[in-house]
Amino acid sequence: MSKKRVLPKVFSAVLVLLVIIFFINAIVSYTGIDTKNLTNPKIVVIKLEGIILNSDKFLNAYKKFHDNPNVKGFVIRINSPGGAVAPSQEIYRILRKIDKPVFVS
């Protein structure tokens, strides 16, 4: 094969790979958490979207807010078809231990 034929194929493959990586990153990293302006009493909304494969994002979001005295409660918005049992159970246990009002929708 000549270099003229190989170069467009390599470029196309790299471009497709970058687009796929971008979309996967966008889906995985989206949490919908707003950490701005927590000086007044607030209700924190934590969004769980997509398949639940680990509880890391929920744990990180919860840890950011659970000790803040201005946070008066949590709303957990779940849009998930399901997922793994262990992370779901871990999220459930944390929700049961929260000493502030929690609403799940």
**Architecture field, domain 31-104:** Alpha-Beta Complex (3.90)
| Angstrom distance (rounded) from CA 8 to CA 69 | 57
Each domain of the chain, given as residue ranges in start order, spans: 1-30, 31-104
| Angstrom distance (rounded) from CA 33 to CA 55 | 15
pTM of structure: 0.57
Lowest-confidence region among 25-29, 33-37, 49-53, 87-91? 33-37
In total, the chain counts a number of residues equal to 105
* Contact call for residues 52 and 91 (beta carbons, < 8 A): yes
Q: Over the stretch 43-70, which tens digit does the pLDDT of each residue have?
A: 888 888 888 888 888 888 888 888 888 8
Both structure tokens of 85 = 């049992």
